[in-house]
Amino acid sequence: MSLDKFFNPSSVAILGASREKGKVGYEILANIVRGGYKGVIYPVNAKAEKIEGIPCYPSLKAIGQPIDLVIIVIPARFVVAAMQECAEIGVRAVIIISAGFKETGPAGKELEDQIVAIAHQHGIRVIGPNCLGVMSTSSRLNASFGGDLPADGGIAYISQSGALMAALLDLAAAQKIGFSKLVSFGNKCDVNELDVIQALEHDPQTTVIAGYLENIINGSAFARIAEGISRRKPILFMKSGGTAAGARAASSHTGSLAGGDTVYQCLFERTGIVRCPSIQHQFDYAQAFATQPLPPGHRVVVVTNAGGPGIMAADAIEREGLVFAKLAEPTMKALASALPPAANVTNPVDVLGDALADRYEFALNTVLDDPGVDIVLILLTPQAMTQCAATAEAIIRIQKLKPQKPLFACFMGAAKIAASIQVLRQGGIPQYGSPESAVKAIKAFADYAAWRRQPLRVIPTLPANREAARAILKSHLDRGFTEIGETEAKKLLEAYGFLTPKSAFAKTAEEAVAAAQSIGFPVVMKIVSPDISHKSDVGGVKVGLPNAAAVRTAFQTMLTDIPKLRPQARLEGVSIQEMCSRTQEVILGCNRDRLGALLMFGLGGIMVEVLRDVTFSLAPITETEARRMIEKTRSYRVLQGVRGKPGVDIEAIVRALLQLSQLITDLPEIRELDINPFAVGLPGQTSIAVDARISLQI
Ligand code: ADP
Ligand code: MG
């Protein structure tokens, strides 16, 4: 979708333009004029003749010319009528700055709904309401009251918070960071984050899309589309706030372990969006993303004129999980041939405190030729002889000469390096105040590059009996049941290829004994009740029953003890099951959030909620993603086998996660699902879903 009328309008009308300095209606007009906008400006104000020397019109209709963009700054109660007027004269783009809508309560929401209805009916796109406006440096349009139009640059910024945008512009001005477009979209009644990033994908001035979000409107569309955009243009987001789903009391293990933020984290990982912990990090990252070539790998070499900062950088590289590059023999020889004998020719390359610009230039040129180097970090401290500005210029020169690998500068200090920092910024070299912040940006950049190198995702299709699964769901939903107990839940899992223990239902002790005899001892006995979902809590699971007598006793005990604990619970009977002895119990689960279905994996048993060693991924997943879910847990080493204990069948877990992924994608009625435990065997043995429960949504 094009937002061109917002970014490059030929004419702009300001409805509610004011003569009074300090009023939003004045500030916006003044900003448009001051910014140097070249199109036609129509202030609309029935009481004024001219504002800032520009003739005013009593109404939008009175303008009598086509208007590309209307900016509305009148009180909320008049906005619906204004939208009507826009529709009548064929306006297609409107920014509503005015507040007093959804954010104020039901009456405001009603007004906002009316605006959206008019917009949809007449094909008008609306940014806002309750926003700061839009800036576009290429058309010199500052249709906002957020501050002065910033310098030109490759970063586009979108923000759900107007106030934050104002702060960001101020900070950016101080750090000489330029922008292509800025969009404050306030309540997002029509144009939302997805519309804007889609428009920015094709914007030639924008090389990086950055933003601040509090929520995402449509998770599945976002996941699908943002992934494609991220593969071409980096997206850097800050995200705050929990979700409604996070607040919902979850009854399953998976639900309680997936906090409100998990789904956003998974959505960002899936779509390659780089999450930034603060504005400063975002600026730090954006500088690199906007100017540097993607690194081919994670191997970093440091060139420095001081030992201490070199060690600090080396520590940070190690800590962030980057690779400290090992220089090749010829590289070290070349360095040694020209650098003073005291210089260090291994990584970190120390060109010494008396290094002039030419020594830096030589070292940089040499390490860039090393095939074992992917990224170069140049550290400089302003010592007595240091040529700060000339060194900055040398770095820019070398990058032009060898543009394949990214360069990062960290000139440390303040007054002595101020001028050289300007040189670096203007020359498109990212500059950082400390080795740590530089290394953090390198890490984000190298990870993004690695994400882009991944092959396209392929979701496998496994055999499944969808009809059988749907029939189970239907039989519950038709009766208004939203909980599926163990027996039926396992049948549903079987339809998706899971193995479950042999089992039989028994209403009496004698039936239980007969069932046990046909299954074969030892057996497990579990209470069957629609009102008990955590059976062990009430003594409703007895494992390892060796013979008929034990089965009889267990039956009697359960049917006398459980009613004492849960007098209300309806007890239907017991389930007699084959006793599975498997090496490791794990938990597999799903939890459907407003934004998508989350899959969960972790070590099973009672410790799962205590240790919280679980990983999540948005369904549907690829085989690689399933494997990564397992590898990312701290317990992965346990699964691989420790201290003489053999490793378990990891492939069986991968397969189970893929089966679950397909199940949850096929069956939108399922809200939560736990398989706890999934008993994993040794490679070659079978792995079995020992317990399961499912909640449905109506
Ligand atoms: P709940 O989670 O409702 O308490 P489970 O069916 O998960 O009940 O049983 C509790 C524990 O009993 C499981 O974690 C598992 O260790 C063991 N268990 C249950 N069923 C079997 C079985 N068929 N074979 C072996 N162990 C079992
Ligand atoms: Mg269980």
**How many Å from the N-terminal Cα to the C-terminal Cα in the chain?**
34
How large is the average pLDDT for residues 125-135? 96
DSSP conformational letter for 67: -
Q: For residue 41, what pLDDT is reported? A: 98
Residue 246 pLDDT class (50, 70, 90 cuts): very low
Q: How far apart are CA 637 and CA 380, in angstroms?
A: 42
Taking alpha carbons only, the member of 150, 126, 148 closest to residue 27 is: 148
| Angle made by CA atoms 153, 156, 162, in degrees to the nearest 5 | 120
Phi-psi region for residue 259, left (φ > 0), alpha (ψ -120 to 50) or beta? beta
Q: Categorize the per-residue pLDDT at 1 as very low, low, confident or very high, splitting at 50, 70 and 90.
A: low
Domain boundaries, the chain: 4-206, 293-453, 502-579
Give yes or no for residue 20 having a pLDDT over 70: yes
Chain centroid to CA 449: how far?
16
Give the pLDDT confidence score for residue 253 in this predicted structure. Answer: 63
Confidence of residue 122 (pLDDT cuts 50, 70, 90): very high
Residue 180, SS3 per DSSP = strand
Any ligand 1 atom below 6 A from CB of 388: no
**Separation of CA 620 and ligand 2 centre (Å):** 24
Q: Is the CB of 677 under 6 A from ligand 1?
A: yes
HEC readout, 309-359: HHHHHHHHHHHCCCEECCCCHHHHHHHHHHCCCCCECCCCEECCCCCCHHH
Q: Looking at residue 249, what is its pLDDT?
A: 44
Q: Which of 29, 33, 34, 66 minimizes the C-alpha distance to 44?
A: 29
Q: Residue 532 class from Cβ within 10 Å (0-12 exposed, 13-18 middle, 19+ buried)? A: buried
> Rounded mean pLDDT of 23-50?
96
Among 536, 580, 694, which is best to mutate for testing ligand 1, by the most ligand atoms less than 8 A from CB?
A: 536
Distance CA 601, CA 669 (A): 21
CA of 516 to the centre of ligand 2 (A): 21
In this structure, the number of other CB atoms found within 10 A of the CB of residue 62 comes to 11
Task: Name the residue at shortest CA distance from atom 7 of ligand 1.
Answer: 691
Atom of ligand 1 nearest to the CA of 676: 7
Give Cα separations from 648 to 313, 638, 697 (angstroms). 39, 9, 35
Question: Could you give the CA distance from residue 139 to residue 180 in angstroms, rounded to a whole number?
Answer: 10
pLDDT 10s digits, 487-499: 999 999 999 999 9
Give residue 254's pLDDT band: very low, low, confident or very high (50, 70, 90): low
What is d(CA 213, CA 490) in angstroms, rounded to the nearest whole number? 40
Which tokens hold the place of 145?
A: 């009251």
Whether ligand 1 lies within 6 angstroms of the CB of 526 is answered as yes
pLDDT-derived band at 124, boundaries 50, 70, 90: very high
Residues 573-598 pLDDT 10s: 999 999 998 789 999 999 998 889 99
In which band, very low, low, confident or very high, does the pLDDT at 608 lie, cut at 50, 70 and 90?
Answer: confident
- 38-42, 167-171, 252-256, 687-691: which has the minimum mean pLDDT? 252-256
Between 645 and 285, the more confident residue is 285
β-bridge pairing 349-350 and 299-304:
parallel
C-beta 663 within 6 A of ligand 1? no
Pocket lining: 16 vs ligand 1, CB cutoff 6 Å: no
Would the CB of 108 count as within 6 Å of ligand 1?
no
Architecture of domain 502-579: 2-Layer Sandwich (3.30)
Q: Nearest Cα to 407, choosing from 387, 391, 390?
A: 391
- Measured by CA distance, the residue closest to atom 10 of ligand 1 is 536
**What is the distance between the alpha carbons of residues 600 and 262, in angstroms, rounded to a whole number?**
11
Task: List strand residue ranges (DSSP E) for 529-613, in order.
Answer: 541-545, 573-578, 584-593, 596-603
CA–CA separation, 173 vs 154, rounded Å?
15
Q: Which atom of ligand 1 is nearest to the CA of 535?
A: 3
The CATH number of the structural domain formed by 4-206 is: 3.40.50.720
Tell whether ligand 1 has an atom less than 6 A from the beta carbon of residue 317: no
Spacing, Cα 692 to ligand 2 middle (Å) = 7
Run of H or E residues at 443: helix 435-453
Ligand 1 pocket mutation pick from 690, 693, 694 by most atoms within 8 angstroms of CB: 690
317-330: average pLDDT: 98
Residue 61 pLDDT grade (very low, low, confident, very high; cuts 50, 70, 90): very high
CA 475 to chain CA mean position, Å: 37
Characterize the bridge pairing of strands 614-618 and 503-506.
unpaired
Q: How far apart are CA 73 and CA 17, in angstroms?
A: 7
Beta carbons of 358 and 394 less than 8 angstroms apart: yes
Q: Determine the Cα–Cα distance for residues 107 and 102; give it in Å rounded to an integer.
A: 8
For a substitution probing ligand 1, which of 525, 543, 575, 606 has the most ligand atoms within 8 Å of its CB?
A: 543
Q: Is residue 362 scored above 90 in pLDDT?
A: yes
- Ligand 1 center to residue 131 CA distance, Å? 54
* CA separation, residue 208 to residues 24, 203, 230, 235, 271 (Å): 30, 10, 10, 6, 15
pLDDT, tens digit, 9 for 90 and up, residues 538-554: 999 999 999 999 999 99
Q: How far is the CA of 549 from the centre of ligand 1 (A)?
A: 21
Strand partners, 586: 603, 678
Comparing CA positions, the residue from 479, 463, 444, 297 lying closest to residue 374 is 297
Give the Cβ contact number of residue 321 at 10 Å.
10
Tokens of 581: 């002895």
521 alpha carbon – ligand 1 mean position (Å): 16
Predicted confidence (pLDDT) per residue in 616-675, tens digit: 999 999 999 999 999 999 999 989 988 888 899 999 999 999 999 999 999 999 999 999
For tokens 């032009």, name the residue. Answer: 400
3-state secondary structure of 142: strand
DSSP annotation of 678 reads: E
Give, for 689, the enclosing helix (H) or strand (E): strand 688-689
> For all residues of the chain together, what is the average pLDDT?
94
Q: Is the CB of 499 under 6 A from ligand 1?
A: no
* Mean pLDDT value across residues 129-143: 96
299 forms beta bridges with 323
Report whether residue 524 contacts ligand 1, using a CB cutoff of 6 Å. yes
Report pLDDT for 256: 66
Q: What are the φ and ψ backbone dihedral angles of 228, each rounded to 5 degrees?
A: -65, -40
Instruction: Decide whether any atom of ligand 1 lies within 6 Å of the 577 Cβ.
Output: yes
How far does the centroid of ligand 2 lie from the alpha carbon of residue 676, in Å?
4
Taking the C-alpha atoms of residue 421 and residue 175, their distance in angstroms, rounded to an integer, is: 10
Residue 406 has pLDDT above 90, yes or no: yes
In ligand 1, which atom is closest to the CA atom of 536? Answer: 4
CA of 524 to the centre of ligand 1 (A): 8
Q: Which ligand is nearest to the CA of 536?
A: 1
Centroid of ligand 2 to alpha carbon of 532 (angstroms)? 11
The answer to whether 4-206 and 502-579 have equal CATH topology is no
CATH of 293-453, one of 3.30.365.10, 3.65.10.10, 3.40.50.261, 3.40.50.410: 3.40.50.261
HEC secondary structure over 376-435: EEEEECCCCCCCHHHHHHHHHHHHHHCCCCCEEEEECCCHHHHHHHHHHHHCCCCECCCH
The type of residue at 608 is V
Residue 586 Cβ inside 6 Å of ligand 1? The answer reads: no
Among all chains, which residue has been given the structure tokens 């984000």?
Answer: 444
* Alpha carbon of 579 to ligand 2 centroid (Å): 14
In angstroms, the CA 674 to CA 592 distance is: 12
